RNA sequence: GUAGUUGUAGCUCAGUUGGUUAGAGCGCCUGAUUGUGGUUCAGGAGGUCGUGGGUUCAAAUCCCAUCUUCUACCCCA
């Protein structure tokens, strides 16, 4: 049969995994430094845990897992004869693949509430699945790196999470702009314009501003039957790039004023930190996921056309649906696949990143091969990544193998070398070669 | 889910109005070089033309279906 993989998924070669691990390790080290603890959750969740948490669109993008056994015998016959897929699902699928890491985390917090102490700071690096149409930078399977803290309303954490973004991307050398807004400010816009009940429609339209422009947003809102006067007022308010002038608009919107106050508090903390990337208030930042209630964040890479490489925000009551009220959470997510793509295109990886060994040993006959194996053990005992060509083959073949693996050094062991104990140590890039004993070779390799 | 697009050697791609045995570059293998890779030269291997049907004397080429790629919506990391 012809091998293939499902659409929107991909294999990772050793080279790519090394790069991806570099990203994970970098991000993880920042998480750990800021005091976050690792957790993992199952690949599959109960479908009931997932449905309804991501809006109608999200439900459509959920991967459902078909029940085992004779699932058709237990299927909803009415839905089956009606060919009503949505209705049928409940009776033939009780599990689904995780869509993000936030909802499973909320479930985790509720289930383990008596074992964890609040505020609980966790990070989680695992793949998620979405049945979306694949495009550039959009896959059906991709890793997310989430950091969240639940059980505290302190805006210190908003500042901390933006710091984490800044520090992680600075370490990865990805230039980016971190956009900050507050859902309450957006609500203030709707309230000030007298269309509080159409808040969601307004938000979705505003979110597209940089894509479809002011006129596009106006049309979008007109379609949703938002009054012309309100639209004009909203578009006017959207021109604000600072907090102070907004206060006048929000005179009659307590929620809007609260949003401003939260952003001001955020800045009181955050401004004590010297950011390496651009961090800016962007009133047009909306974000789709509707569980956000306070500050929201999004990260966009500079110098490249790519969707957002991270996003997050505060959600006041995510655990509420699982029966735990009044626990506030705030968190951000790193989109590993997109960061990976950005770093590939901009070639931002450190040069020494390599999947292979520091030295390859080669030998020419059975006696030298066994001698070389003994040398290999000693080199490995010294903690140096090393390997021996598996058989005494032609030198050309072995050298070519070393070259294709980009091994920086080769140790050549023939009869002369074995007798004298002075091995030929070759530096592949320069082509230079010298005779050294094993101890000296290990010393050289340690210093590189 | 809607609309379009792509698929030919390991990779990047040619392939005429349908017409002999489907090509190139790179890569790979062998040798020139019995102990020296990345350069050079000579030779060689490698293809169900995404898959399944159909039209035709004849299909990589035309038609239909399907899978996949990429793109715009939608949404999003």
**Nearest-nucleotide field for A204 (CA, C1'):** B75
Is the CB of A142 within 7 Å of strand B? yes
Is the CB of A130 within 7 Å of strand B? yes
Phi, psi of A179 (to 5 degrees): -95, 140
**Nearest-nucleotide field for A306 (CA, C1'):** B77
User: What six digits make up the tokens of A225?
Assistant: 């039957």
Our measurement of CA A45 to C1' B43, in angstroms, reads: 60
**Nearest-nucleotide field for A300 (CA, C1'):** B77
CA distance A296 to A182: 5
The pLDDT of residue A224 is above 90: no
3-state secondary structure chain A: CCCCCCCCCCCCCHHHHHHHHHHHHHHHHHHHHCCCEECCCCCEEEHHHHCCCCHHHHHHCCCEECCCCCCCCCCCHHHHHHCCHHHHHHHHCCEEECCCCHHHHHHHHHHCCCCCCCCEEEEEEEEEECCCCCECCECCEEEEEEEEEECCCCCHHHHHHHHHHHHHHHHHCCCEEEEEEEHHHHHHHHHHCCCHHHHHHHHHHHHCHHHHHHHHHHHHHHHCCCCHHHHHHHHHHHCCCCCCCHHHHHHHCHHHHHHHHHHHHHHHHHCCCCCCCEEEECCCCCCCCCCCCCEEEEEEECCCCCCCCEEEEEECCHHHHHCCCCCCEEEEEEEHHHHHHHHHHHCCCCCCCCCCCCEEEEECCHHHHHHHHHHHHHHHHCCCCEEECCCCCCHHHHHHHHHHCCCCEEEEECHHHHHHCCEEEEECCCCCEEEECHHHHHHHHHCC
The pLDDT of residue A306 is above 90: no
CA distance A90 to A397: 60
Q: Which residue is nearest to nucleotide B30 (CA to C1')?
A: A397
Is the CB of A311 within 7 Å of strand B? yes
**Nearest-nucleotide field for A368 (CA, C1'):** B35
- pLDDT digit string, tens, across residues A408-420: 999 999 999 999 9
Architecture of domain A14-38+110-345 in this structure:
2-Layer Sandwich (3.30)
Q: What is the mean pLDDT of residues A355-365?
A: 90
Our measurement of CA A202 to C1' B49, in angstroms, reads: 51
**Nearest-nucleotide field for A341 (CA, C1'):** B77
Our measurement of CA A115 to C1' B30, in angstroms, reads: 67
Q: Which residue is nearest to nucleotide B35 (CA to C1')?
A: A395
Q: What is the mean pLDDT of residues A203-222?
A: 86
Q: Which of residues 40-79 of A touch strand B (CB under 7 A)?
A: 55, 57-58, 60-61
For residue A289, what pLDDT band results from cuts at 50, 70 and 90? Answer: low
Supply the ipTM of this predicted assembly. Answer: 0.86
**Nearest-nucleotide field for A286 (CA, C1'):** B76
Q: What is the mean pLDDT of residues A314-328?
A: 90
**Chain B footprint positions (protein CB, under 7 Å):** 1-3, 28-31, 33-38, 48, 50-51, 67-77
Q: What is the mean pLDDT of residues A264-285?
A: 94
Dihedral sign, CA of A194, A196, A197, A202?
positive
For residue A345, what pLDDT band results from cuts at 50, 70 and 90? Answer: confident
**pLDDT given for residue A360 in this prediction:** 96
Is the CB of A310 within 7 Å of strand B? yes
User: What six digits make up the tokens of A341?
Assistant: 């793509």
Q: Where are the domains positioned within chain A?
A: 14-38+110-345, 355-447
Is the CB of A7 within 7 Å of strand B? yes
Is the CB of A360 within 7 Å of strand B? no
Q: What is the mean pLDDT of residues A398-411?
A: 92
* Mean pLDDT taken over chain A: 91
- CB-based burial of residue A336 (10 Å sphere; 0-12 exposed, 13-18 middle, 19+ buried)? buried
Is the CB of A204 within 7 Å of strand B? yes
- Fold exhibited by the domain A355-447: Rossmann fold (3.40.50)
Our measurement of CA A2 to C1' B21, in angstroms, reads: 26
Percentage of chain A modeled with pLDDT above 90:
62
**pLDDT given for residue A288 in this prediction:** 67
Rg (CA), chain A: 28
**pLDDT given for residue A316 in this prediction:** 87
Q: Are the C-beta atoms of residues A298 and A179 closer than 8 Å to each other?
A: yes
The pLDDT of residue A210 is above 90: no
Lowest-pLDDT range, A42-51, A146-155, A244-253, A342-351?
Answer: A342-351
Lowest-pLDDT range, A18-32, A66-80, A169-183?
Answer: A66-80
Q: How many other CB atoms are there within 10 angstroms of residue A356's CB atom?
A: 17
CA distance A110 to A323: 7
Exposure on the CB side of residue A359, measured as CA atoms within 13 A: 30
Q: Which of residues 243-302 of A touch strand B (CB under 7 A)?
A: 287-289, 298
**pLDDT given for residue A209 in this prediction:** 85
**pLDDT given for residue A287 in this prediction:** 79
Is the CB of A2 within 7 Å of strand B? yes
**pLDDT given for residue A396 in this prediction:** 92
Our measurement of CA A137 to C1' B64, in angstroms, reads: 33
The pLDDT of residue A2 is above 80: no
Q: Which residue is nearest to nucleotide B1 (CA to C1')?
A: A60
Q: What is the mean pLDDT of residues A200-219?
A: 86
Q: Are the C-beta atoms of residues A426 and A435 closer than 8 Å to each other?
A: no
């Amino acid at each position: 049969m012809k091998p293939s993989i499902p659409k929107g998924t991909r294999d990772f070669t050793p080279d790519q995994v090394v790069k991806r691990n570099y990203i994970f390790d970098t991000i993880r080290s920042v998480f750990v430094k800021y005091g976050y603890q690792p957790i993992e959750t199952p690949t599959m969740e109960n479908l009931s845990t997932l449905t309804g948490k991501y809006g109608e669109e999200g439900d459509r993008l959920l991967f459902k897992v078909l029940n085992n056994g004779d699932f058709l015998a237990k299927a909803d016959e009415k839905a089956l004869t009606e060919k009503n897929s949505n209705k049928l699902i409940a009776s033939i699928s009780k599990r689904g693949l995780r869509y993000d890491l936030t909802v499973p985390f909320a479930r985790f917090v509720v289930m383990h509430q008596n074992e964890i102490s609040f505020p609980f700071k966790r990070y989680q690096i695992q793949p998620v699945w979405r049945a979306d149409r694949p495009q550039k930078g959009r896959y059906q399977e991709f890793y997310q790196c989430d950091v969240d803290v639940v059980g505290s309303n302190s805006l210190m954490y908003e500042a901390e999470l933006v710091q984490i973004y800044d520090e992680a991307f600075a370490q990865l050398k990805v230039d980016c702009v971190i956009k900050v807004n507050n859902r309450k400010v957006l609500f203030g816009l709707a309230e000030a314009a007298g269309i509080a009940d159409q808040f969601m429609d307004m938000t979705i339209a505003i979110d597209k501003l940089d894509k479809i422009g002011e006129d596009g947003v106006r049309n979008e809102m007109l379609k949703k039957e938002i009054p012309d006067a309100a639209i004009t007022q909203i578009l006017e308010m959207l021109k604000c790039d600072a907090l102070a002038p907004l206060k006048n608009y929000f005179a009659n919107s307590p929620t809007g004023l609260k949003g401003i106050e939260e952003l001001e508090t955020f800045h009181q903390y955050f401004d004590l930190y010297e950011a390496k990337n651009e961090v800016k208030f962007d009133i047009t930042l909306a974000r789709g996921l509707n569980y956000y209630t306070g500050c929201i964040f999004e990260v966009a890479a500079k110098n490249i056309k790519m969707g957002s490489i991270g996003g997050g925000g505060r959600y006041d009551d995510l655990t509420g649906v699982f029966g735990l009220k009044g626990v506030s959470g705030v968190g951000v997510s790193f989109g590993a696949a997109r960061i990976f793509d950005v770093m590939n295109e901009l070639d931002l990886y450190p040069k020494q990143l390599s999947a292979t060994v520091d030295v390859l040993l080669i030998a020419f006959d059975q006696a030298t091969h066994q001698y070389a194996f003994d040398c290999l053990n000693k080199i490995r005992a010294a903690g140096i990544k090393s390997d021996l060509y598996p058989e005494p083959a032609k030198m050309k073949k072995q050298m070519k193998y070393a070259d294709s693996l980009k091994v920086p050094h080769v140790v050549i062991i023939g009869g002369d070398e074995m007798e004298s104990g002075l091995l030929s140590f070759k530096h592949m890039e320069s082509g230079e070669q010298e005779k050294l004993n094993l101890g000296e070779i290990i010393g050289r390799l340690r210093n590189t």
